[in-house]
């Protein structure tokens, strides 16, 4: 916005970092390793000078290279792994395997709740299964996050190389949280993956991601069957007994 990403992070309050940079994807601009290192360095310096996270979000495609270049940068440079956040890491099996290694090196990895077989992704790892596998294999769970990708439209490559656009269900996030809990992942682990972990990854903790004095009063209360009962945002009750109390302009 100002012509310099480091300056953007320093001067614009809402700017926490850079993203999304597409990798291993047909839509990627195919940045070189040197270009990625420069982008990461600019984000890091901007974050250091502004007191922000200075992170770079990476949109991961299904290309065979996966996150090879990010693993190499973490291993071979002085750029801390905490500035990298590859997302959609459950969209392909080989990518998910690399994500385990990346988290063990100290980087954050983000699972996308709408990448599921029923949504048109036959070669993916179901989000709740991904959480369970990472937990059972001893991957540092404080480095794992799950997000909805803003319920954006995900595309799937068909056998002929064409693209199929898919509208992702807005319910996928809650469904995968519930499935992870029903699969036996401890409540405190699932809670961190969708609350304190993303807040810390993006430098928003403790204003977000926890309940304590001076933090935003954001809270979801679940029923015994793991369905959403109550939602409180900044102290205002938005949902009670499963019914929305606050609605948008075009909602009834």
List, by residue number, the catalytic residues.
149
CA distances from 73 to 78, 84, 139, 217 (A): 8, 10, 20, 38
């Amino acid at each position: 916005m100002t012509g310099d990403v480091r300056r953007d992070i320093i001067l614009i309050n809402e700017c926490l970092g850079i993203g999304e940079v597409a990798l291993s994807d047909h839509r990627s601009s195919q940045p070189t390793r040197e270009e990625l290192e420069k982008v990461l360095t600019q984000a890091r310096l901007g974050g250091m000078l502004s007191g922000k996270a200075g992170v770079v979000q990476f949109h991961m495609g299904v290309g065979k290279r996966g996150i090879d270049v990010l693993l190499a940068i973490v291993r071979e440079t002085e750029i801390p792994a905490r500035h990298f956040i590859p997302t959609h890491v459950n969209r392909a099996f080989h990518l998910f395997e690399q994500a385990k290694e990346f988290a063990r090196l100290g980087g954050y990895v983000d699972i996308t709740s709408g990448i599921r077989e029923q949504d048109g992704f036959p070669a993916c790892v179901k989000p709740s299964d991904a959480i369970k596998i990472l937990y059972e294999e001893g991957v540092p769970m404080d480095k794992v996050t799950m997000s909805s990708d803003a319920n954006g439209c995900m595309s799937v490559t068909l056998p002929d190389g064409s693209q199929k656009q898919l509208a992702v269900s807005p319910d996928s996030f809650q469904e995968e949280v519930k499935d992870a809990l029903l699969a036996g992942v401890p409540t405190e682990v699932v809670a961190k993956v969708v609350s304190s972990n993303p807040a810390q990854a993006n430098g928003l903790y403790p204003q977000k991601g926890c309940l304590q004095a001076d933090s935003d009063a954001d809270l979801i209360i679940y029923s015994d069957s793991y369905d959403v009962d109550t939602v409180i945002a900044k102290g205002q009750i938005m949902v009670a007994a499963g019914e929305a109390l606050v609605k948008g302009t075009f909602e009834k």
